Amino acid sequence: MRNLLGLITAIFCLMWMPAQAQAQAQAQAQASAPAQAPAQAPAAKQGKATKAAKAPKAPKAPKAPKIFRDCPSCPEMLTIRSGSFDMGSPGSEAGRAKDEGPVHRVKVATFALGKTEITRGQFAAFVKKTHYSTGDKCWTLKDGNYEERSGNWRELGYPQDDKHPVACINWNDAKAYAKWLSRKTGKKYRLPTEAEWEYAARGNTGTARYWGSNPDEACGYANGADKTAQAQIHGATSWSVHNCTDGFAYTAPVGSFKANAYGLNDMLGNVWEWTEDDYHDSYNGAPTDGSAWQGNDAKRVLRGGSWNDAPRNVRAAIRYSSQPALRFNSFGFRVAKSLK
C-alpha cells in the first residue's frame, strides 16, 4: 500500500510542476508586456498601421491689425484690410437724416488709417516746423451759444493738453498737415475718403454704432454729449444727451475709450473728422469703389460727431458739411495713407 501511495504522489508532482511553471511564465510575460492600448484606439489590420483620426480644425482667430509708424513722432497707423459694406443708413435707423441714403454697396481697397485723431501735440510739431498759420478766428461755445470769436487750436474756450485731439481745424489745415507728413516720410498721407471713413468706423458691423444700437452705452466707447457735459457746461442742461457719464465735459485724451473691432479709437465722438470728399445731399450717383466723391467744392464732409453732440449725431452713418475754410472747436481730423 505504501508503495502505491508513493507512486501516486510522484505522478501528481510531475503533472503540477509544468502547470505552475507555465503560470509563472505567463505572469512574467504579462508583467513585461506594454500596457494595453486605450479601448478607443483603432486596431491594426493585417500588420498595416492605421492612420490616426484627424481632429477638427479650430476656427482661425481674426488677424490682429497691423500697427506701424513711419517715424518716431508720426501718428500710429492701422492697416485696414479691403472689403465691402453697405454705406449709409436704413430708413428705420433712429436719428437718420435724408442725406444718409440711399444705402449702397461699396468696395474699399486696403489702406491705412490713424489709430486716433491727430493730437494737439502732433499738430504743434507741424506748426513749429513749418510756421503754418491757422489764423485767429474760430467758432467757439460760450454761455450756451456758438459764435465766431478770437481763437484757434491753442485757444478753444476749454482746457486741453497735448494728448487731446487738436480742434479748431478746418479742411485746409488738415490737408496741409497731411501734405507735410507726406514730405517728411516720403509716403502718401492724405485725408480718408468718406467711404473709407465709414467702412473703418463700422468695424465690420451693420448697427448704428460700432458697439450696437443703444446710444446710452456710448460712455464706454465714445465721448459725446452726456451727463458730464450737462453738469459742467453752462447752457447744456437743455441738451439732448446720452444717458450715461463718461467723465469728460469737452474733449478727452485720444484713446480714452474702447476701440472698435478694427482697433480704431474715437471714430465716433470727441471731434468731427474731415474727409476728402465734397458734400452731396444724397448718395445718388456716389462712387462704389471707395474713392473720394468730388464735383462740389463749396462744402466738404465731416464724420463721426463730437463731444457736444446728441445721440443722433454720434452714429457711423451721420454726415455733416462745412465750408473748407471754417473752423469750429469741435472740428478735427485723422490721417489716412495709401498703401499702393
The CA-CA-CA angle for residues 38, 44, 46, to 5°, reads 155
User: 283 lies in a domain?
Assistant: yes
The reported pLDDT for the residue numbered 127 is 98
Nearest to residue 256, comparing CAs of 114, 158, 117?
117
pLDDT digits (tens, 9 = 90+) for 207-232: 999 999 999 999 999 999 999 999 99
User: 8 lies in a domain?
Assistant: no
> What are the CA-CA distances from residue 184 to residues 8, 18, 77, 189 (Å)?
112, 96, 16, 10
**112 near 128, Cβ under 8 Å?**
no
Mean pLDDT rounded to a whole number for the chain: 86
Give the whole-angstrom CA distance, residue 110 versus residue 10.
97
User: 36 lies in a domain?
Assistant: no
What is the span of the domain harbouring residue 270?
A: 67-338
User: 244 lies in a domain?
Assistant: yes
Q: Give residue 192's region: left, alpha or beta (phi > 0; psi -120 to 50).
A: beta
User: 44 lies in a domain?
Assistant: no
User: 231 lies in a domain?
Assistant: yes
**187 near 71, Cβ under 8 Å?**
no
Nearest to residue 108, comparing CAs of 221, 222, 201?
201
What mean pLDDT do residues 286-310 have? Answer: 96
pLDDT grade for 236, boundaries at 50, 70 and 90:
very high
What mean pLDDT do residues 306-329 have? Answer: 98
What mean pLDDT do residues 254-274 have? Answer: 98
Checking if the pLDDT of 297 tops 90, the result is no
Could you count the other beta carbons within 10 Å of the beta carbon of residue 3?
6
The fraction of the chain above a pLDDT of 90, given in percent, is 79
What mean pLDDT do residues 242-263 have? Answer: 98
241, exposed or middle or buried, with CB in 10 Å at 0-12, 13-18, 19+?
Answer: buried
User: 24 lies in a domain?
Assistant: no
pLDDT grade for 143, boundaries at 50, 70 and 90:
confident
Helices (H) and strands (E) in the chain, counts: 5, 13
User: 9 lies in a domain?
Assistant: no
**97 near 318, Cβ under 8 Å?**
yes
pLDDT digits (tens, 9 = 90+) for 85-138: 999 999 999 999 999 999 999 999 999 999 999 999 999 999 999 999 999 999
pLDDT grade for 30, boundaries at 50, 70 and 90:
very low
Q: Residues in the chain, how many?
A: 340
Q: Mark 263-288 as b/e (b = at least 16 C-beta within 10 Å).
A: bbbbbbbbbbbbbbbbbbeebeebbe
The CA-CA-CA angle for residues 152, 169, 319, to 5°, reads 140
Checking if the pLDDT of 9 tops 80, the result is no
Structural domain count, the chain: 1
The CATH number assigned to the domain holding 81 equals 3.90.1580.10
Q: Note the pTM of the prediction, 2 decimals.
A: 0.81
pLDDT grade for 57, boundaries at 50, 70 and 90:
low
Give the whole-angstrom CA distance, residue 45 versus residue 51.
11
